[in-house]
Structure 1
Amino acid sequence: MNESIMRVVRRGVMAGLGLVVLSGVLGCQGRGGIEERHPVYPGVVNGDVLLDVQAFRRGTTLEMTNTSTVSFERARVWANRTYSREISGFRIGETIRVGLAAFRNEYGQRFEAGGFFATARPDALVSVEIEADGVMYRVVVVEDTIN
């Protein structure tokens, strides 16, 4: 074979190998940035208190009404003992509505809330708990209406 043809073939092979190595290295980079950490369900923190709060699933929204004598400044709401999100406050007599799709599990996966454009079957809302000040409060799930 002609020496110039061999040189072209070698360059092509080297360029191809370089692309393979480069794509392998870049593929291992991940998404970049710092991944947000999501808490793991703590179980019973300091007691297991049934709170007079009613929880309703209204489609893709969790609606809770606080008819108890406990007010929360900052708390974490747990859905199905797996998914959670923080709430900034929940006063006595207040009704709050939070989107279920904002709830995340420890791996960052979201609660399948359903909805018109949902690509997966919606998760049932089985249990709701409020974690605040080292205490886990159980909430009564009155209704789980997906549609």
Structure 2
Amino acid sequence: MTPGAQRLALSLATVVLAGLTAWLVTLSAQRDAAIRARAAKDFHHWMHEQLALTDAQHEALNPIEQAYQQEKEQLQKEITAAGGELAAAVRAGKSGSPEIEAALTRLNSAQARLQHATLAHFFAMKEHLDPAQSEKLLQWTHDSILAQ
């Protein structure tokens, strides 16, 4: 193979690998978003079935739920945008490039803020539950974390 053909083959392989990596990152982000949406639905179903909330508790929890939902949606948009930036940086860059590192930092930061918000949400809800309900919520949260 001539040197020119080798360079062309190497360039083509690099482009294909970068494209595949970007596709896998995007696919993973989409799968994670679907899992999070299903988990949220499962949690609310579980909460209403297992905690036997009173009307007063529903009233107290509603603003907490709405505030968390808004914050969660915003953070999920940031996670999606950062995932897109990472995919683009992978496609355009090389391992360890400043663009990849910046996109990873942004993605990790948004994911960490979502985890913090989720835990704060659970502890805010706990304040409005009786001891038995509170224990069930803590156990569910504990088990959910271990299942990840």
Give TM-score, length-normalised by structure 2.
0.28
Decide which structure has greater helix share: 2
Larger radius of gyration: 1
Give TM-score, length-normalised by structure 1.
0.28
